[in-house]
Structure 1
Amino acid sequence: MNWFSNFLTSSIGRKVVMSLTGLFLISFLVVHLIGNLQLLAGDGGEKFNLYADFMTSNPLIKMTSYLLYAGILLHAIQGWALWRKNRQARGGQGYAVKVNRAAGTNGFAASNMGWLGTIIFVFIVVHMYQFWLQMKMGTVGMQTYDGKTVKDLYTLVSATYENLGFVIFYVVSMVVIGYHLIHGFQSAFQTLGINHRKYTPFIKGLGKAFSILVPLGFAIIPIIMYLTK
């Protein structure tokens, strides 16, 4: 198993792990956004609470969630290790290819992936404490829909998004995630060898669209809930 551990601690191995976990987390963002959009259903939280109950009670989903937590930690740890190694190799100049190799938004994201990733990790910790941990600790109320009693996570989310400071924090975090994705999306495919003149332009375009639309979808939710409170 020495070859495997050596591979995981090498620069190439870390990049492969970053790519695989990154693509897994990207797919999770789509599912999470679809669920969160239920907050805007205008039904007092019924659809969202039933969605939250399904996501926390279905055995397959629960197993996937453990993989998600592990993926987040592994992605962060490998990312920090790779960032530190690259900074040392370049005399502390940055995470990856400098801006003169990649102009514009993608260049900024490429040269600041470490800082962007750190901010995102802090956001995830705050986000999970604010909602997931409160629900697990049983500090939220209960609601009954058609004879089914579930935890009322909607009321907690709604109360949180009445706080302008948290809404701003959430929206700014989504901007950071967008920048992180705009480089990470295409970089993941390139690291895995999916890099062809016929397909790369499509992957780049899809990555840019995803990096804008998905964070925007998340950001719109607290804004609308705050403005309509």
Structure 2
Amino acid sequence: MEVKSALLGSSIVKKYWMALTGLFLCTFLVVHLGGNLVLLRGEEARLDFNAYAKFMTTFPVIKAISYLLYFSILFHSFDGILLTIQNRAARPVKYYYNKPEANSTWQSRNMALLGTIILAFIVTHMANFWYKMHFGDIPLDANGNKDLYEVVVTFFKDPSMGIVYVSLYVVSMIALGFHLLHGFASAFQTLGLYHKKYNPIIKNVGVLFSVFVSILFAIIPIFIYLQ
């Protein structure tokens, strides 16, 4: 029995939406990374980071985009699961083949696993920071903004669990890097923007994007922990 999305029918359409939501989430990663890199300035970044957090949670346009972001995350995850199930259902009898790495990369064969790790990270990340920013009892900084900087620093510098939180964060960023390594170029290919002339450029940009985004995100909690 064919597995169908409530919104989408064929696997081809699902892949188009996966590509579009994936590229939108890549844009979000750049914006989110830009704001978080402020934390590498240490204590002097407190007021600026808190002002950034307030802007991202109160400015009307950003709030509207944030709802699109939440939808994209859920849709991207849900449709990815459906695609995986649908692809496996198309091959009910598992077949064996030699050296699969000759025809595909490790990350392309494990996108479902990588996506699951990232989704689990997003849920816990939002519980620890997004939820507290919106509904938690957070003290105010010198400018009267919620002191999210203190929440972040306290979380990663926790005497007993800080190293665990940092390690899990870094592992999640490694998973994100591999997920992007395949997903970035794959999205362009799905949308028909993958041309022989531009293939090397798209592939190289995808590699650089994947590596730099994952490494820079991972550096932030390590820096905070070692301060």
TM-score, scaled to structure 2: 0.90
- Indicate the residue corresponding to 1:123 in structure 2: 121
1:164-207 per-residue CA deviation (whole Å, 9 max, x = no partner) reads 10000000000000000000000000000011111111000000
CA separation of 1:165 and 1:8: change in aligned 2, threshold 3 A? same
- Indicate the residue corresponding to 1:201 in structure 2: 200
**Distance apart, 1:8 and its partner CA:** 2.0
| 1:173 partner amino acid | S
- Any idea what SS the aligned residue of 2:141 has? strand
- Indicate the residue corresponding to 1:75 in structure 2: 76
* Separation in structure 2 between the aligned mates of residue 46 and residue 92 of structure 1, nearest angstrom: 58
Work out whether residues 182 and 211 of structure 1, in 8 Å CA contact, stay in contact via their aligned partners in 2: yes
- Indicate the residue corresponding to 1:47 in structure 2: 48
CA separation of 1:39 and 1:6: change in aligned 2, threshold 3 A? closer
Work out whether residues 156 and 165 of structure 2, in 8 Å CA contact, stay in contact via their aligned partners in 1: yes
* Separation in structure 2 between the aligned mates of residue 195 and residue 90 of structure 1, nearest angstrom: 27
Work out whether residues 164 and 226 of structure 1, in 8 Å CA contact, stay in contact via their aligned partners in 2: yes
**For structure 2, which runs of at least 5 residues remain unmatched after alignment?**
none
1:101-155 per-residue CA deviation (whole Å, 9 max, x = no partner) reads 12xxxx111000011101110000000000000111132111132xxx1110000
**For structure 1, which runs of at least 5 residues remain unmatched after alignment?**
none
Kindly tell me the number of residue pairs found equivalent between the two proteins: 214
- Indicate the residue corresponding to 1:66 in structure 2: 67
Work out whether residues 99 and 110 of structure 1, in 8 Å CA contact, stay in contact via their aligned partners in 2: no
**Distance apart, 1:74 and its partner CA:** 0.4
Greater relative CO (CA pairs within 8 A, separation 6+):
2
Work out whether residues 7 and 13 of structure 1, in 8 Å CA contact, stay in contact via their aligned partners in 2: no
**Distance apart, 1:20 and its partner CA:** 0.1
Work out whether residues 38 and 45 of structure 2, in 8 Å CA contact, stay in contact via their aligned partners in 1: no
Root-mean-square deviation over aligned CA pairs: 1.7
Q: Does 1:177 align with 2:176?
A: yes
* Separation in structure 2 between the aligned mates of residue 130 and residue 24 of structure 1, nearest angstrom: 24
| 2:28 partner amino acid | F
**Distance apart, 1:88 and its partner CA:** 2.0
1:186-197 superposed matches below 5 A: 186-197=185-196
